[in-house]
Amino acid sequence: QVSWKLADHPTLPKGKTLALIVLDGWGEYKPDEYNCIHVAQTPTMDSLKQGAPEKWRLIRAHGKAVGLPTEDDMGNSEVGHNALGAGRIFAQGAKLVDIALASGKIYEGEGFKYISECFEKGTLHLIGLLSDGGVHSRLDQLQLLLKGASERGAKRIRVHILTDGRDVLDGSSVGFVETLEIDLAKLRENGVDARIASGGGRMYVTMDRYENDWDVVKRGWDAQVRGEAPHKFTNAVEAVKKLRENANDQYLPPFVIVDENEKAVGPIEDGDAVVTFNFRADRMVMLAKALEHQDFDKFDRVKVPKIRYAGMLQYDGELKLPGRYLVSPPEIDRTSGEYLVHNGVRTFACSETVKFGHVTFFWNGNRSGYFNPEMEEYAEIPSDVGITFNVQPKMKALEIGEKARDAILSRKFDQVRVNIPNGDMVGHTGDIQATVVACKAADEAVKMIIEAIEQVGGIYVVTADHGNAEDMVKRNKSGQPLYDKSGKLQILTSHTCQPVPIAIGGPGLAAGVRFRNDVPDGGLANVAATVMNLHGYVAPNDYEPTLIEVVNN
Ligand code: 3PG
Ligand code: CO
């Protein structure tokens, strides 16, 4: 039985309106021409930095500080928002899958037993993101799973690949497909009929999120389940090379692999098993619904084979989706959102569609919906659909700022929480000029929210979930930009391992509140206790320590 009552903070008052602003993809890095935050005009964020060290500092947002396997793992929004919301560091999907594969436990669980009952007569289909980005999936985990499943009776395997270029360099898809083909060839030598069956770029095929654009999932469904796509090839490496002539990895159109009679080699049929091998939830939930829900109506599936489906993880603990999974997800319980609601903190959360689940679902420990609808309001601003965000780099920053401002001025909420997506979503396109525009727009949204906080005598906390826009090129160890064989600058579309800023302020911030200097390694997980303090409460004992102290002067 959880005791939800939080102790009163000994000195800090309750009842101040607090704005909690998360800039997505906004890290701190040396100022050069590839640091879009530095290049952009960002007067608001610059002025906050003037408050260092008492009111501005850096915190860790990658690697072990957010529950990832190694210090080389860049941060991402899932683990970042989990840590921000939960106030503790949980071993995340990437690590849990590593452990389950290494120990072999993955093959002993209910999920694997369930799908393996199809191995005798059916095909095992593996669908997911093919890269070593470590954000949604990892190639080495797929390789181990292929080996493990074939050793345990899978005789016919079809892999449906989604090319990346977003968590890894654009163009790297070719190498990943080549690596996979070598593995599949080895399996074939051992008598397993293993092949790539279909593919497409992650942003155009299958991996939409937060129901922004169901057409993306439909394109994948048609290729994976029905064996239908506008492009047909007999070889996946060739497919990716050819399609790359007109699109980058993220946006490759769907293709199917066919035999000499032009027949798709691996549509999903009755009696087959399907595993989605991404461990991260947001971009697999929609496909999981299409695979699992009987009454699914988001698009016409045309063909609904009777399959046994398991996720690498369970993607949504509240919806129990999917019902079967190979590895149990982290049990992110007792999040700060749940505590605060129990303690009377009325909460408003807002972003545009592409990041909406970040400040709600991820924030609340991968849980859908409200804890208490009477205490909470979540507002989603529809994202632009069918464009790449370098075309509209301002995205909905202004609208998010306005919604937050209105929520603050309404005085109906104690916490107003937003995610401002620009630095991240535009940074992922690799378009440097557009990312500069994006950063400026994000800064303007922060300004708007801080002004509202000033009007109501409130407090603001401004931070970020991980780096992205502050570094747009791949670099060598000494920080010099790298060029490819043809002399072209290697653009970094992915996140980074840089720390992120956190700033506190506002007229409601009690005198004497400042950042402590005895948590130098503080990270995103330290923010929850900090915010609880600013709401007038002491965080639970097992939360990571607060970043602030109150000094009498
Ligand atoms: C994506 O899904 O867009 C990227 O892989 C990671 O971006 P995010 O972690 O910022 O959402
Ligand atoms: Co991102």
Model ipTM value? 0.99
**Ligand 1 centroid to 310 CA: how many Å?**
23
The ligand that comes nearest to the alpha carbon of residue 468 is: 2
The one catalytic residue among 77, 150, 198, 336: 77
217-254: pLDDT as tens digits: 999 999 999 999 999 999 999 999 999 999 999 999 99
What is the DSSP secondary structure assignment for residue 227, as one 8-state letter?
Answer: -
355 marked as binding residue: yes
The ligand that comes nearest to the alpha carbon of residue 283 is: 1
**Ligand 2 centroid to 171 CA: how many Å?**
18
Tell the residue nearest (CA) to atom 5 of ligand 1.
Answer: 167
The encoded tokens of residue 148 equal 């493990």
In this prediction, residues 104-123 reach a mean pLDDT of 98
pLDDT over 80 (residue 104): yes
Active-site residue flag, 116: no
**Ligand 2 centroid to 478 CA: how many Å?**
25
**pLDDT band at 1, cuts 50/70/90?**
confident
Which residues approach ligand 1 with their CB closer than 6 A?
A: 24-25, 76-78, 135-136, 166-167, 283, 424, 428
- Residue by residue, DSSP assigns 374-437 as TTEEEEEEPPP-SS-TTSSTTTTHHHHHHHHHHHHHTT--SEEEEEE-HHHHHHTTT-HHHHHH
Tell the residue nearest (CA) to atom 2 of ligand 1.
Answer: 283
Pick the closest to residue 532 from 7, 159, 2, 3 (CA basis): 7
282 marked as binding residue: yes
Contact 386, 445 (CB under 8 A): no
**pLDDT band at 154, cuts 50/70/90?**
very high
Domains and CATH numbers, the chain: 19-91+345-389+463-550 (3.40.720.10), 94-327 (3.40.1450.10)
167 marked as binding residue: yes
**388 phi and psi, to 5 degrees?**
-95, 145
Going through 181-298 in order, the beta strands assigned E by DSSP cover 193-201, 231-233, 255-257, 273-276
388-436: pLDDT as tens digits: 999 999 999 999 999 999 999 999 999 999 999 999 999 999 999 999 9
pLDDT over 70 (residue 553): no
**Residue 99: other Cβ atoms inside 10 A:** 13
**Ligand 1 centroid to 7 CA: how many Å?**
36
**Residue 246: other Cβ atoms inside 10 A:** 9
Ligand 1: which of 68, 167, 353 to mutate, most ligand atoms within 8 Å of CB?
Answer: 167
Euclidean distance between CA atoms 525 and 319, whole angstroms: 25
434-489: pLDDT as tens digits: 999 999 999 999 999 999 999 999 999 999 999 999 999 999 999 999 999 999 99
Specify the DSSP element, H or E, that contains 128: strand 124-130
Output the CA–CA distances (angstroms, integers) from residue 543 to 19, 273, 462, in the order listed.
21, 41, 20
514 marked as binding residue: no
Please give the model's pTM, rounded to 2 decimal places: 0.97
Ligand 1: which of 92, 284, 395, 428 to mutate, most ligand atoms within 8 Å of CB?
Answer: 428
**pLDDT band at 176, cuts 50/70/90?**
very high
**Ligand 2 centroid to 481 CA: how many Å?**
21
Going through 277-352 in order, the beta strands assigned E by DSSP cover 308-313, 325-327, 347-352
Is the previous residue joined to 53 through a cis bond, with omega within 30 degrees of 0? Answer: yes
Ligand 1: which of 77, 202, 466 to mutate, most ligand atoms within 8 Å of CB?
Answer: 77
**Residue 259: other Cβ atoms inside 10 A:** 10
495 marked as binding residue: yes
Pick the closest to residue 63 from 53, 73, 54, 55 (CA basis): 73
**67 phi and psi, to 5 degrees?**
85, 15
- The residue written with tokens 């898809």 in the block is 173
The pLDDT, as a whole number, for residue 541 is 98
